Structure 1
């Protein structure tokens, strides 16, 4: 049996802007994981997961070695299997069947999502398992690229930041590739290998950042799952890429993220707190300008409680529910924050940071 794990993620800054190629964000990988267990099988492949109910997803190959589904829609897991199998074929490995058993710590006991990036984690862990199964020798960057190509075929506007956090771990600065160009090249190219070297990767980068030394990361869950894709599409509809307001938002987001990266690299904790607050204000203005509820009542309560006790807070990711993050310094009253969260129906998620991976323990991966 092969077992692989991929962590969840939380956005620290750069949400919404990061969907544009080359725009920076800061993301942290968290120590709740999704696990994929792969076992060889004979005449069919199966995917077992609570997401699919009691019966597994069953897949077979047709005569030209393409993956065919039985009775299930095409989703992230099957997209990852199909593209990795295509790469396997290009590299001359004999086709084999296997079963995948998926277990997740990224949801609560009732199956409600915490907003920690379970869709990304399952793609990353699935590709890692198949890579090990066939001995493809993919580097972390190769696996990330394959994960993004797989995800983009299902959700073309996904930035890939969650995939980067799940692949590389730790605290990262991330910029996204040109997914439109990548999908065009994938359709045009004869091989997946060619697509891994597409010019669409030029704006992709991952840089690992140091962990804050004197700031504690607190995470609160509002109990209301949110659809990132729906929220991002709603914002894009209200602020087209060609609009002045969109350009102004990107410029301000870029300035905040770049300054935050510098503050983290310099271990300037007071400046870090200041910039987290600035990132929250930017999301508030984006919500007001677009009419999209990014900061819900519970997210507002989460942030205001933390601010009233000396910490800095903001929604994480697209907002609309899910999680809020808090940077609490030595002068913050964490016990008071947690007590008032509990009274407001906000659940603390006890999350640590999943360790960084890098290419070989190193710090940077670039397109």
Structure 2
């Protein structure tokens, strides 16, 4: 490695499949054009990790116990192991696009892992846009990110950062499976930040505890309701039935609202306000990701109706997020002269 290798990994949003994806359900996830750029360059003075947005700049081993740095350090170690023989690297990680450096539910942690590994692959002479390299990066990034989440995450955000576009994603025996999703022609996306940051791992833990209590009381497992709605959604996707596709997405969101009142009651009302405000505009709307915070999304094919949803969010003092689907996935980037 004699030159700087740089890549961009898009962020992501979960359109449908929350919680059900943990038990084999098929999730629809979309890559977005706000993500993470990573550069790997030779370092004359030994290994170094710089994360501008987090204020980190030190050897990786000195950052392993620093709050917010652990996942990045783990990704650097994985990159060195997967692509050995490189000179001691200086790894630089920085957010690019809307909301860079902020935790707003756009899959930034997964994109960081993908970007670091992708930069190591590029430095080793690999083409990160080829199927074989992407499969390797998916296995490696999935393992790193899931281990950091104590085995609880789905990895859907990792897959979206690697492959880009609209992704049909599921786990089979804890192995990720990815293929391009079929979505209605002209499908558009609007996003709002709720102002409430949400921990995925904490939400999953609360969900598992509540689901166990719910089932122990003799009630039908809540997951069955999620899976039934997912089946309806994917059948509509297969048939090209745009109306049912959007209805099922909204109704899945209503199921998530019920769940939010059980596991995140203090945040549930605010999230409901945002989703219902968009829905009154005539679009499909739901929370995205772990319930109780992060982003609300609206989907439809009519740009005017989506603009109306954005106005409704602004009226509620929510922050409209300026992102769009990113079809490119993980890719090399050209550096400005002097970088």
TM class by smaller structure: 0.7 to 0.9
Question: Does structure 2 conserve the Cα–Cα contact (< 8 Å) formed by 1:26 and 1:257?
Answer: no
Q: CA deviation at 1:95?
A: 4.5
Aligned to 2:277, which of 300, 305, 330? 305
In 2, Cα distance between equivalents of 1:310 and 1:95 = 54
Is 1:70 the counterpart of 2:54 in the alignment? no
Unaligned runs of 5+ in 1: 60-68, 179-199, 359-367
Is 1:248 the counterpart of 2:240 in the alignment? no
Tell me the C-alpha RMSD between the 2 structures: 2.6
Aligned to 1:108, which of 99, 114, 125? 99
The answer for the alignment partner of 1:325 in structure 2 is: 297
Aligned to 1:173, which of 168, 171, 178? 168
1:209-358 equivalence runs, <5 A = 209-240=181-212, 243=215, 248-288=221-261, 290-293=262-265, 296-330=268-302, 333-355=305-327
Task: Specify whether residues 314 and 32 from structure 1 end up closer, same or farther in structure 2 by C-alpha distance, changes over 3 A only.
Answer: same
Task: Specify whether residues 95 and 37 from structure 1 end up closer, same or farther in structure 2 by C-alpha distance, changes over 3 A only.
Answer: closer
In 2, Cα distance between equivalents of 1:240 and 1:217 = 35
Is 1:9 the counterpart of 2:12 in the alignment? yes
Question: Does structure 1 conserve the Cα–Cα contact (< 8 Å) formed by 2:35 and 2:97?
Answer: yes
Bigger shift: residues 332-341 or 263-272: 332-341
The answer for the alignment partner of 1:40 in structure 2 is: 42
Task: Specify whether residues 254 and 106 from structure 1 end up closer, same or farther in structure 2 by C-alpha distance, changes over 3 A only.
Answer: farther
Q: CA deviation at 1:292?
A: 2.6
Aligned to 2:158, which of 149, 155, 163? 163
Q: CA deviation at 1:118?
A: 0.6
1:110-129 equivalence runs, <5 A = 111-129=101-119
Task: String of CA shifts for 1:125-162, please: whole Å, max 9, x gaps.
Answer: 11011112123676211101100111222212111111
Task: Specify whether residues 87 and 216 from structure 1 end up closer, same or farther in structure 2 by C-alpha distance, changes over 3 A only.
Answer: closer
The TM-score normalised by the length of structure 1 is 0.78
In 2, Cα distance between equivalents of 1:348 and 1:77 = 28
SS of 2:250's equivalent in the other structure is: helix
